[in-house]
Structure 1
């Protein structure tokens, strides 16, 4: 006949949470039951079953491999970021020494093509910059009302957009561009009120949502001051 303690134990419904709670409250369980633990078999998709010890070691190996992959990826990203920042410093020095607005735009274009991009373009809101006729750079002007639907659809409250644009959107922002697969668009000004810089790639997968925008942030902060050398603010 079972005693009261045995009856109370058998009356407990065992589930994952109950077992886990017991093991947490009894950390010496595996020490006290070492021989029995060695007999426990865990399902394995390749070998059928493996011992609990083998299963635990395999999990540790997988975790170590995952950590090594993450460290390698972080190192690659750090090297890539260092390269980009070095290139950004060179770009800044190059743009500062430009002797005209067209020269500055050409240098920005060359910098972008050095990364295999199709183009780098600047569009400025016409109510914030004096670039109307007889200026030679009226093609940079963009009315805020024309851009507003695109801003609402693609950017919302963000200052950057990375991804693909449709035909009418590309025609609005990059009317001379051909074979544009994806773009990185960054608004100029603290609230995006001055205009935008747009980098385009022929690869539809080159720019995608979720990618980093550190370099775009730096460029967006740098360009308005440089543009003011050649264009008056309205």
Structure 2
């Protein structure tokens, strides 16, 4: 009787141990592999034997799948690198245009010559659709009411504005030239000299997030030149 009871207790202990052992699941396997990244290095013979379902190729080995994923990453990195190189080349070309423009306007002797150089370089070299320089003083000055309109509406926070204008504003600055997005620069230490307005056919070309380094330099050069050219 005691022997049977002892046997029963032993069987119960064995069953309890099996019940306490967690069932192997895909989550446990995944956790183990993540915690032991060198597992397949130690069990290299498994790599060619394991088959991974593939939507296009049926089943492939883990090595082949890893190689394909690596090739995809390399292609994506090459594409990103080529994009960065293209952007760098474009930025270099734009920098050279602005550098040349700044040198040329320094040699201008009057307002008409300055306007001509600005239009030639910005429209032809930068491929923008419109450019106009509106002085605040002199015989061709922007009327006071229009000056106040732009300053109060577009220059509340800064001496730049990038974005879109109303149809009325576009007419005042560009007449019939196409300008679906614009860059406006107030000129002068106290914004007292005028506005340089540049327009693009692309409605998203000029936007508030764009870099202002080069255009700030142009603004500073014009701030030096205009006082000598305007007739008071």
Q: Confirm whether residue 118 of structure 1 aligns to residue 117 of structure 2.
A: no
Distance verdict in 2 for CA 1:170–1:20, change over 3 Å = farther
Q: Confirm whether residue 148 of structure 1 aligns to residue 167 of structure 2.
A: no
Distance verdict in 2 for CA 1:5–1:57, change over 3 Å = farther
Aligned residue for 1:63, secondary structure, equals helix
Q: How does 1:83-232 map to 2 (within 5 A)?
A: 83-115=93-125, 116-123=127-134, 131=137, 135-139=138-142, 142-151=146-155, 159-161=160-162, 163-172=163-172, 174-188=173-187, 196-204=195-203, 206-207=205-206, 210-231=209-230
| Mapped contact 1:159–1:191 kept (Cα < 8 A) | no
User: Bigger shift: 189-198 or 78-87?
Assistant: 189-198
CA shift for structure 1 position 158: 8.8
Any idea what the Cα deviations from partners look like across 1:110-159, whole Å, max 9, x if unmatched? 111213222222346x5xxxx1xxx223138643454433457xxx6694
Any idea what the Cα deviations from partners look like across 1:41-92, whole Å, max 9, x if unmatched? 4443432443322222122112211222222222222222222222222211
Structure 2 unmatched runs, 5+: 1-13
Any idea what the Cα deviations from partners look like across 1:12-50, whole Å, max 9, x if unmatched? x764xx666533432321123334443444443432443
Whole-angstrom CA distance in 1 between matches of 2:189 and 2:216: 10
Aligned residue for 1:224, secondary structure, equals helix
TM-score (norm 1): 0.71
Greater percentage in helix: 2
Distance verdict in 2 for CA 1:63–1:194, change over 3 Å = farther
Distance verdict in 2 for CA 1:228–1:140, change over 3 Å = farther
TM-score (norm 2): 0.71
